[in-house]
Amino acid sequence: MLHGGSSILNNMTGSRKPRGVEEIGQVLVVGFDGTEITPPVSSLLTSLQPAGVILFSRNIKNAEQTWRLLRQCQKCVSTPLFSCVDLEGGSVDRFRDALAAAPSAADVFATGDRKLVRRHGKLIGESCRSLGFNVDFAPAFDLAFAASRNVLGSRAVSANPRDAEIYAREFLAGLRSANVMGCGKHFPGLGEGKLDSHRELPVIEKTLKRLWAEDLLPYRKLRRQLPFVMISHAAYPRVTRDRTPASLSKIWITDILRKRIGYRNLIVSDDLEMGGVLSASPIGEAAVNFIRAGGDLCLICHREDYIVGAYEALIKAAERDSKFARRVAEAARRVAAFKKKHARMLRAGKSPSGATVGKLTRRLWEFGEELRLDAFSRQGDKRSRS
């Protein structure tokens, strides 16, 4: 959705960038409308030079078009892009029309077969890679407590944190085998959240002791396997003593995730356009506070005026506050170092052939059928025992 933001961006870029913060765009991952690069989108990406782009179903018609769109994005940006998608399977499936439906996390985990979980990750990873993506913001680490059942549904696999860890470990390994980087989300956990953070701010009344033993366990165990961690827009007042979303909280991002858990890779916000965070801060303030709290990548998934507003707020804050300028520079350096370390995974593959697309489509369908037969068999076993 374009709102005249490019003209604003053209007027405020260039010499206004403060010394020491030459790559503010490298703390942003952005989305846009459309299935091709329009002149306004090209202008935005060229001016902004973001760390990455994220595509959704609105951007994806078929495999070859999606690969071409991502290549066009890369041509606008001088550094290797994080080409991101949010693909878990089930209700969160951006490739349903371009390829075929992928099963949900809960359906795969219900088989009790770790090899199938890894296959799930590998198949989703191969689908991502074939269409040109190198980052999948999956899997969800959230625990399947009763409170969040209506919100998370089949995205969460179990209320047992050990089960969630097992699923996440195997899924991430599957993605990695396909040369795709995964992401643990939604830190510190939405399992007890009754509200959907897309629209409202969930307030989770849970102590740090309980969160540490339950929701945070998968992050603690997998901290070295996670390329990205995504921070939720939920409040935890028994930890922070206020209703600040975790995505804007130094306690959560720096003190707990970085220092206490010891996570060393990239920290990305959940979409800063979501109601859960905008109820606490306007978009520019949210971007600044996320970076100030210790985050590395602001995710802004749709509106150009929001993207430009966040970019401008980051520059203004860095101009006014040398400490914040150093924090932005630190985040940009962390992103640059990460990209250098993972340069091989960021390289684009070949355009997908018809044969490749056909094979992936068939494998997705066969995998779904295998799970349906497994579920039918398990139901039959239950009836025979009753």
* Residues annotated as part of the active site: 198, 270
Print burial letters for 254-283: b (CB count within 10 Å at least 16), e (below 16).
bebbbeebebebbbbbbbbbbebbbebbeb
Nearest partner of 367 among 126, 86, 84, 60, judged by Cα:
126
What is the dihedral angle through the alpha carbons of 142, 147, 149, 152, rounded to the nearest 10 degrees?
-40
Residue 379 CA: distances (Å) to CA of 340, 368, 382: 49, 17, 5
Q: Which residues pair with 266 in a beta bridge?
A: 228
Query: What are phi and psi for residue 77, nearest 5 degrees?
Result: -125, 135
Non-local (6+) Cβ contacts of 237 within 8 A are: 203, 205, 243
Element (H, E) at 122: helix 114-131
Cβ atoms of 18 and 317 closer than 8 Å: no
Quote the DSSP letter at residue 181. Answer: B
Alpha carbon distance 155, 90 (integer Å): 7
CA atoms within 13 A on the CB side of 132: 26
> How many CB atoms neighbour CB 77 within 10 A?
18
Q: How far apart are CA 235 and CA 193, in angstroms?
A: 9
